[in-house]
A and B are shown apart, each in its own frame.
Chain A
Amino acid sequence: MDENETKDRLRQLAQQGGRRFWRGLEEMLDDGSVGEWLAAEFPSAFEIGLGRRDMLKIMAASLAMSTLSGCGPTAESPAVPYVNQPTDYVPGIPRWFATAVPFDGYAQPVLAECHAGRPTRLDGNRQHPASRGTISAFAQAAVQQLYDPDRSQAVTYRGGITTWNAFDAALLDEAHRLKKSGGAGLRLLTGPASSPTLMRQIAALRGVFPSMRWHSYSPVGGLRGVATRQAFGRPLQVMPRLDRATVVVSLDDDILGPGPFQVPAALAWSEQRRKGQGMPLLFVAESTPTLTGAMAHRRLATASGRIPLLAAALSGQKPPLDPAEAAWVQAVRKAVEDNPGSAVIGAGADQAADVQALCMALAYRWGAPGRTVTYTDPVVAESDAGLAELAADIDDGKVGVLLMLDVDPAYAAPGPLGFAEILARVPFSVHAAGMYDETAARSQWHLPLAHPLESWSDCRAVDGSVTILQPLIAPLWQGRTVHQMLDGLLDQPGRDALSPVRDTWRSQLDESAWRRSLEDGRVPETAFDAVRVQPRPLPPVAAIAPPAGTEVVFRPDPSVWDGRFANCSWLQELPKPASKVVWDNPVAVSPAMGRRLKVENGDVVEIEVEGRRLRGSAWILPGQAADTVTLYFGYGRRRGGTFAEGLGYDAYQLLPVKAAPSAGARIKRTGATHHLVSTQLHHAIDGKDLVRVVAPGEGIDNAAETVVGHPDEHSLYPRYPYQGYAWGMVIDNDLCIGCNACVIACQAENNVPSVGKEQVAVGREMHWLRIDRYYEGEPDHPFTHFEPVPCMHCENAPCELGCPVNATVHSPEGINEMLYNRCIGTRTCATYCPYKVRRFNYYYFAREAAPLEWAHRNPQVTVRARGVMEKCTYCIQRVQRAHIAADRESRAISDGSVRTACQNACPTSAITFGNLNDPDSAVSRKRAGRRNYGLLDALNTWPRTTYLARIRRHGAGEA
């Protein structure tokens, strides 16, 4: 509430109170509106039931201080040291709590690091099979969203600020009315949901309002449910087992790509991949480059509209295929025949249901159901209907009360639905979300939703097991949980957040089991059991005419997904894996189309689909199918925060109501240009010794790709004898899928600032760890390689030579250290660094963050000022922590007890860190392996970070 609004409110109060106002302040409390307002502003005063005199004092103080309420939570809650320090709490030592961050209905299990009562960082939950300690970039960003200063901070009614009590009263009225009509006209709109408490509440709502309908909507996800019904006669969740299948076929299905399934899929994939045989054999046919395609043995770039033909061909039909497709199909069939009972196949979620169903049937036939592919009940519950039905009902005037919980349909609905416009026709529309977004602006009521890290809730992970979400901090903006809001309809308005969740589990979990579930981050025995299925006979895929002309496919943005992360600067500045574009969504076009349209990166193109037009900046993406244009969601936002607004284009404008690739699109150059900012401007693979590839069992020495290096290390100086530890890191390029989890983990752990689009455009991004992308081969069909590049901590470091003031020196444990307070900013170290991993604070980037965002900074890492150099430290604060722990017990640091942030997050465990002085440490053993090589080791830098070459089966995937 800003100051003016407060004044308005006081004026309003005066008017409402009329003459009574002057009779006494106590009486004024009887006036409902004042009471509401005070209850909302100072809830404690009401709860503890003070006496009259106390109340007067508080009244006087609160009226005086009401103007302060505009100053945000920092002003309202001054830092006060504990009077009674909680037991076991040691200042400076973080505490960890298990909880989860929901993402598209699936729980992402996390452990939250809390310092002095505030969560600062998220790790994966080691005890949870869907995480095993690893975590995606999206889940980690939750902590930044928590402290987002743009979060919705107040209940609003028709755009004006009001109170929760006002809403509760209004909802109560509506509930009374609805009860009489049996809930006719009551609609609930949510995203995909798996929360048992939400399910219980919806069931309870149905009891009270039998005619209520529950709609759910997500712009991604598509027709999986319909497809499983076609294939098996029931809704199912189909999980290809990447850890068991030897042949994996993906038809435009980004198995390893971002999304709720990424971490479990990557865990499984790496499990098999780690055996060093370059397995599973991955065949990918896709329209647009994905992480899965980058990992493929054989990748085919083909239009999304031709995927049905490929599916038909794989099932034995004879559709017309072009030679490249025929060869690919031939290769897949051969691999499947060579590996009987061990192949899986999946089609992308936006493919037609019959194509997906056919692939499910093929997977059943090719593999060993239950082993290479498992079936469970769907984790995300099926709702009554989708968004299109809701829109139709609103159009027909059938919707009286619409509750939109944590969704943004006014932004993310398909453009042709015109949802933003028809929303105004709903007589009573309520929107609850973390941000004041497009839907909030068009709803009557907007309610601030508590962040998952502030909430009591529950959610199912990919395997169905439940995690209870527990709050790690009191809601910063008095937000309520979804469950509290539904409580309001169930005659329990204003109940605390815990009760609805505890109610759900009361019968199943007694107090000790409840506590254990909270501690473990997982309710035992809630994972779904695999079910046996019987495939139904499927009709052959209808003879689909191959699409003519240009097609448009829609993809969630790899960094901001469907737009929900758009106000998160970490994710905005996270280079997208293929294009490395930041702070923008490009229109991906193929090199061939680029040549045809004479379009270069950044040229604005206009795309027309069924009469709807959209303009965006083109980006030539090697590996894109020739006639496919990819549009990414998540940008072009009109509301939703400072960072979110005004970037890129809004792909939803063209999204068809029925999710399917749009064929027959038109694309043309407009002549305008818009500068797209990318952190890697060049596609060239510059020498094969930067990313090396070997055959299974081969080493670097006899690999054909090896370029002559100088393995012998020369120096004029005597070698430093490392007595104790000599830290080192090995990164297995064979396991890296380029998912960016490590980049965000590093940023979160090390207080790395985001610098904004303009600064990245100049070339001043601050990431300590970046993922380099290399292409190999023809631009139309390249192989893609990813290589994470942190500091190499060179033993013979060029940077250390350059610094005139000893600000970067080598530690007695081999770490190339950066002494921020000694640095004067000559930038010689960065100039001399051959890897260019050093980052310079050209401005005081750290201070540009809003004060609220300071809350998620790691107190164990210095925040760097203007004019100093910084870079990867191997998470030296973690090394020191391990030192302290070990020294107290007079023992050596055990192998694996120091885990860097990037290592911890990596879903494929591609990163190993440890003591190179110990020949038995994991890192030493990896370094001793034959695939080990140093990046640019010919420069005689003796890097401590080394790489393991990627494994490619020669001849694999050849027909």
Chain B
Amino acid sequence: MNRPVVPLDKPMSHVGDEIAGIPLDFPRRRGWLAGAGGTALLLFGFFLSAVVLFIGGVGIWGVNSPVFWGVAIMNYVWWVGIGNAGTLISGLLLLLDQVWRNALNRFAEAMAVFAIICAGVYPILHLGRPWLFYWMFPYPSEMGVWPQFRSPLTWDVFAILIYLLVSILFWYLGLIPDLATVRDRAKGRLAQVFYGVLALGWRGSARHWLRWKQAYHFSAAIAVPLVFSVHSEVGMLFSASQLAGWHSTFFPPFFVVGAAFSGFGVVTMLAIVIRQTLHLEDLVTDFHLDALARITLGLSLLMGYCYWWDMFNSVYSGDRYELRAVHDKLVGAYAWSFWTTQFLNVVVPHIFWIRRARRNLVVLFLVGLAVTIGMWFERYMLVVTTLYHGFLPSSWNYYIPTFWDWAVFAGTIGLFLFPYFLFVRFLPPVSIAEIKEKILELQRERRA
């Protein structure tokens, strides 16, 4: 903490100039066009593969019996996990009054919103009859039929929906003062109207600030428990079954940790790319990157603990099927997914014990990528390893994803990245108001 995490040595207007300048006069237009174009193609691929899926039926995927859940459920869990870190950084660290979070919270929060959207489409795509997805909602149907409230899926629907709504609300609330800043600096009429409408008539009065602060903290307080409930709920999706390898009370916390871990992996990558391309080195400093690396390392240790504790639990139970589940993880047909997970999630982050590695952008980015991929393999391991070896040997079978499984996956990456490109281009990617507030506070402290 010997170095300031906010630029104290520059005039206050510098922050506003720097950040509000991004949407108004974007510095990397060509690069942006290339990126947005590429991800738009992916997004088109998403719609295409969704149409093929709706016409062809879920049989075009590799799912079968007994592996009734495939890549769709893995991706659902993976995406919703990525959302986790965004909410943690912007909500939890806000409540904990961590100064450094202000440089990261905006784009982390955006990441959360888009990741939740990606997660949210999967349970619908996954359905045998997706056009009837709304039957999972508790609405007063004329037949008097309600969702089945014992099902973890029902609670998943609630959890995801609420999480998405709260995340969007929280993100937008935080944006309002900055949107007003951009509006005030905008030269063109179109931009003025666009940002003016979005800024909801923000004038910056003391009353506005008071109300805003209350609302912002209040929604943070709502969002933070959701982080835990959503991922616990996702964990329950598995542990509510009786299947060996899933049937464990340990899953909810396990999934919360895993979600945070994958989320921090993605945040690290995004932070580096945004910082380097938009030249935000003075806002996203080495300190921030170091903090991300430390958290990643810490979560990696926790993940390792979770994996081995989970297996210890299975072994300690002495249950024949649990033992076989452990055996399958270690040497079964899908052992590669387990060992890839172990390597990427548990071994690779240990490089962050080295201080230089924590400050090296390339290493940081690669580790973030490793963790993101590693967490995907973990989902694969969790879903497939348990399902392919059920209780009765007659129902054992292998699972091979098809082209369309991967097509939809690639498509959702477009569904995530394309809006993200729009966000970076048209909205202030870092919070102006919150950084300024901290600068003011720190300057006041210094003077005092």
User: Measuring CB to CB, which residues of chain A are less than 8 angstroms from any residue of chain B?
Assistant: 580, 679-682, 684-687, 690, 759, 762-765, 770, 772-774, 789, 798, 800-806, 822-828, 830-832, 834-836, 838-844, 866-869, 935-936, 939, 941
Contact = CB atoms under 8 A, between A and B. Distances in A.
B389 to A, nearest CB: 9
B243 interface: yes
Nearest to A771: B394
B136 A804 contact: yes
B65 A764 contact: yes
Contacts of B37: none
Nearest to B72: A827
A710 B336 CA distance: 35
16 contacts: A684-B393, A690-B392, A773-B394, A805-B136, A806-B146, A824-B135, A828-B151, A828-B153, A831-B241, A832-B243, A834-B391, A834-B392, A835-B392, A836-B390, A840-B68, A844-B57
A805 B135 contact: yes
Given A682-B396, A764-B59, A830 B128 contact: no
Chain A interface, DSSP helix/strand/loop, else mixed: loop
A789 B390 CA distance: 14
A686 B321 CA distance: 10
B240 interface: yes
Nearest to A765: B65
B67 interface: yes
**Most chain B CB atoms below 10 A, which of A686, A831, A866:** A831
Contacts of B59: 759, 764, 842-843, 866
- Interface size on B, as a range, is 35 or more
Contacts of B130: 824
A641 to B, nearest CB: 25
Interface in B214-241: 240-241
Contacts of B150: 801
B126 interface: yes
Contacts of B64: 762-764, 842
Contacts of B393: 680, 682, 684-686, 772, 774
Contact of A823 (B128, B242, B387, B392): B128
Contacts of A803: 148, 151, 153
B57 A770 contact: no
B362 to A, nearest CB: 41
A770 B65 contact: no
Contact of B394 (A679, A764, A830): A679
Contact of A835 (B128, B152, B154, B391): B391
B278 interface: no
Contact of B136 (A824, A844, A939): A824
B69 interface: yes
B403 to A, nearest CB: 14
A824 B68 contact: no
Nearest to A798: B242
Closest 9 pairs between A and B when the two form their complex, measured CB to CB: A825-B128, A867-B128, A842-B59, A763-B64, A836-B395, A804-B153, A827-B68, A867-B129, A763-B397
A830 B240 contact: no
Nearest to B244: A834
A836 B386 CA distance: 13
A770 B62 CA distance: 22
A834 B128 contact: no
B92 interface: no
**Most chain A CB atoms below 10 A, which of B146, B148, B150, B395:** B395
Interface in B394-409: 394-398
B153 A867 contact: no
Given A836-B395, A842-B59, A804 B157 contact: yes
B129 A825 contact: yes
A690 B387 CA distance: 19
Contacts of B151: 801-804, 828
B58 interface: yes
B422 to A, nearest CB: 32
B145 interface: yes
A834 B243 contact: yes
A495 B125 CA distance: 62
A804 B147 contact: yes
A804 B148 contact: yes
A538 B396 CA distance: 53
B200 to A, nearest CB: 37
Contacts of A838: 65
A579 to B, nearest CB: 13
B387 A867 contact: no
Contact of A802 (B56, B67, B240): B240
Contact of A868 (B128, B146, B154): B128
**Most chain B CB atoms below 10 A, which of A580, A759, A939:** A939
Nearest to B241: A832
A763 B63 CA distance: 8
Given A798-B241, A824-B128, A825-B58, A772 B394 contact: yes
Nearest to A839: B65
B394 A789 contact: yes
B320 interface: yes
A770 B68 CA distance: 18
Given A825-B129, A828-B151, A834 B66 contact: no
A828 B387 CA distance: 12
B240 A842 contact: no
B132 interface: yes
B127 interface: yes
A244 to B, nearest CB: 35
B133 interface: yes
Contacts of B398: 763
Nearest to B146: A806
Given A805-B148, A867-B127, A822 B397 contact: no
A939 B320 CA distance: 12
Nearest to A799: B241
Contact of B128 (A680, A798, A806, A841): A841
Interface string B143-168: 00111101111101100000000000
A836 B392 contact: yes
B149 to A, nearest CB: 9
B65 A830 contact: yes
Contacts of A866: 57, 59, 128-129
Contacts of B126: 826-827
B76 to A, nearest CB: 11
A832 B128 contact: no
Contact of B69 (A789, A824, A827): A827
Given A826-B123, A832-B243, 19 more contacts: A679-B394, A686-B392, A759-B59, A801-B240, A802-B151, A803-B148, A804-B136, A806-B148, A823-B129, A824-B127, A825-B58, A827-B126, A836-B66, A839-B65, A840-B128, A842-B57, A842-B58, A842-B128, A936-B391
B390 A868 contact: no
**Most chain A CB atoms below 10 A, which of B67, B68, B146, B148:** B68
Given A764-B65, A869-B128, A832 B240 contact: yes
Nearest to B152: A802
Contact of B62 (A681, A762, A841): A762
A826 B153 contact: yes
